[in-house]
Every structure is written in structure tokens, then in C-alpha cells.
Structure 1
Amino acid sequence: MKTRLLLIEDQINLAHFIALELRAEGYQVIVEHHAKIGLIAAQVLCPDIIIMSWDLPGEAASRAYHQLRSIGNQVPIVVMTVDTKPRHVLSPELNEMVWLMKPFCMSDLFKAIDQVRHTPLFVNSPQPERMLRIG
């Protein structure tokens, strides 16, 4: 079975390019451009890994992370960012995400995906319930 990735990126051209490259490597890719829709997709579609931009219109990745964890969704997250602030200063639990600095080359993204695929969180976690929670 192909690894299912949810890509949440508001820059449409960048999202399109990343999705094409990921599909060429054999991944199943779902693309969303808005954080709130991406969070719903994360609950409904049960991706294996989420790849998301740190600064999304309407929802920061840190808030999305906390919303997912608060409902028990333990899907691994790769964060793409141009932000150079140390993440542990923002929130220590954000260290569980894999961070990728923009601009990056695709080989770095593939390494980040491989890194989260081999974490105990990914390997040992059952698929989350296919339940949509709103509010």
C-alpha cells in the first residue's frame, strides 16, 4: 500500500510542484491550500504523514498541531518553514515534528519523510478513527 501524504501548502505553484515530485516517487498525495480544510482532511482521510507550511493563512502550524493532538491524532508531521526562530523556544513539544527550511531540495523532503516513517510514532500507531469532528 502506498504511503498517503497530506500536503497543506498555500502557495499553489509550490504545492503543485511538490505533489508532482512526491507522486513520481510513488506516494499518494492529497493537497489542500487552506489550513482549516487541511485539518478536516487530516481527520477524514487519515493520512500517514502530514507535510505542512509553518505559516498558513488562517491557521499556524503550531495551532494545527495542537488541534490534531487534542483529538488523539498522532500522525507524524513535517513542517516546511522560512522561520529561523528556534522551535523549542516557541513550544518544546513542537520538537516532535520534523522541520525543513525553505527553500529546500526534494532530496531533503524525501529524507524528512523517511525520518518520520521510521519513528516509533509512525511504526507503532494504529490508523486514527475515520471520524469527522467539528467544533
Structure 2
Amino acid sequence: MTVQILLVEDEVKLARFIELELTCEGYQVTIANDGLTGLTTARESHPDLLILDWMLPGMSGVEICRRLRSTGVQVPIILLTAKDEVGDRVAGLDAGADDYVVKPFSVEELLARVRANLRRTQETDADILVFDDLQLNRATREVYRGDRAIELTAKEFDLLEYLLTNPRQVITRDRILETVWGYDFMGDSNIIEVYIRYLRLKLEANNEKRLIQTVRGVGYVLRD
């Protein structure tokens, strides 16, 4: 799967140069040239890594970082900055940045930082399940739909986790019952429909599009 990188940089020539270098490395790059567009794009496109210039029109890279972190977004963030004072670097890291590169920089250094941060993310990826704008964290048992936190019961969480581990696959009711409730479950088999309804109510509370689809006579599938 191609790694998606969002680059937020207002210097057009520099942004184009970085984009070309990243593309040559096999990454897919989206560019935003101001802070507000960058923040909106980050929230909507769910990139695998962000590269943010510190000084941006409308909203600084540090403020973008702070706002994303405040809503639970854990994507790796690298700050590009001309500020080389220790206090400035600390401020960037305190805002939630994972790394920083001081301008002027060599493209080899930037690429190395990108690879290092992606490696760290991949090491913990097993705990994060993402589909469309839905994100589930196995370690913290937190669930987000976009920026909205969703409170689930233990069984709702288990059911959603199972669907997220098998995206776009039609899962039979029997498989769901065996996996989520256990082979020895002796209760009403309609329990699945009840919990699917609970999940839909919570996942679609703000009129979001439906992700859990019913396949009549078979079971359920997570797809957009």
C-alpha cells in the first residue's frame, strides 16, 4: 500500500522540490499551501505522515499540530522550521510534533526522518485499525469517527474490532457469533442484529455515512 504524505508548505518552489523527491521514493504526496487548508486536508484525508512548515499563512504548523493532537490524531508529524533555538524546538515537540528539520536542510536528511518516523508508526500499527474516517485503538480501546470520540460498551467494541479486522469481507452471522460471543454462546442469535443497530446509532449519530452494511441472508460487511 502506498504511503500517503501531506506536505503543508507555503513556499511553492520548495514544496514542489520536496514533492518530487518524496514521489521518487515511492510516496504519494498531497500539498497544501496554507495552514487552514492543511488542517482541513489532514482531517479529511487521514495521511500516513505530515510534513508541516512552522510559518504558514493563516495558521502556523505548530497550531495545526496542536489541534490535531487535541482531537486524538496520532499521525507522525515532522516540522520544517527556520527556528533553531532550543526553546522553539521544545515548543514544537510539546505541541505534539514527532520530529523537526531545521532549514536549510539536505533532502537526504528529510527523507531519513520520514523513513524513521514511518518505521516507528508501523511498529505500533497493529494496535490501530482504520477504515475510511473510522479509527479504533486496540491498546487504549478508543474509537473515533473523524474528530468525534465514540463511547462503546465492551461487546460493541469487540464487534466493531472484528469488522475492522476484516474490511470489505462479507462475514456470516455464524462467524460473528462464534468469534465475538464464543462457541458456547447459548443466548438469542438475534443479539447480533441488536448490537449492529447499537453500533450504527453511535457511528452515525452526526448523520455520517453508513459503513456497516447488511448482506441479506448472509451477514454483514464493513464497506463504504
Shared topology, TM-score over 0.5? yes
Map of 2:101 onto structure 1? 100
Shift of 1:122: 6.7
Structure 1 residues 8, 91: CA separation in 2 closer, same or farther (over 3 Å shift)? Answer: closer
Identical columns (%)? 31
Shift of 1:45: 0.6
Output the CA distance in 2 between the equivalents of 1:28 and 1:18: 12
Output the CA distance in 2 between the equivalents of 1:126 and 1:57: 33
Output the CA distance in 1 between the equivalents of 2:32 and 2:110: 18
Aligned partner of residue 21 in structure 2, secondary structure: helix
> What's the TM-score once normalised by structure 2's chain length?
0.54
Larger Rg: 2
Of the structure 1 ranges 107-116 and 94-103, higher mean CA displacement relative to structure 2 is found in 94-103
Output the CA distance in 1 between the equivalents of 2:92 and 2:29: 29
Shift of 1:82: 0.7
Structure 1 residue 10 and structure 2 residue 10: aligned? yes
After TM superposition, what 4+ stretches of structure 1 lie above 3 angstroms from structure 2?
A: 120-123, 125-129
Question: Which runs of 5 or more structure 1 residues have no equivalent in the other structure?
Answer: none
Output the CA distance in 1 between the equivalents of 2:7 and 2:83: 19
Shift of 1:111: 0.6
Output the CA distance in 1 between the equivalents of 2:74 and 2:61: 15
Map of 2:112 onto structure 1? 111
Map of 2:202 onto structure 1? none
Is the 8 Å Cα contact of residues 51 and 77 (structure 2) preserved in structure 1? yes
> What's the TM-score once normalised by structure 1's chain length?
0.87
Amino acid at match of 1:74: Q
Structure 1 residue 27 and structure 2 residue 27: aligned? yes
Shift of 1:120: 4.7
Larger RCO (CA under 8 A, 6+ residues apart): 1
Output the CA distance in 1 between the equivalents of 2:93 and 2:19: 30
Is the 8 Å Cα contact of residues 75 and 122 (structure 1) preserved in structure 2? no
Amino acid at match of 2:35: A
Amino acid at match of 2:106: C
Output the CA distance in 2 between the equivalents of 1:92 and 1:52: 13
Output the CA distance in 1 between the equivalents of 2:49 and 2:123: 8
Map of 1:76 onto structure 2? 76
Structure 1 residues 36, 122: CA separation in 2 closer, same or farther (over 3 Å shift)? Answer: farther
Structure 1 residues 11, 42: CA separation in 2 closer, same or farther (over 3 Å shift)? Answer: same
How many pairs align? Answer: 132
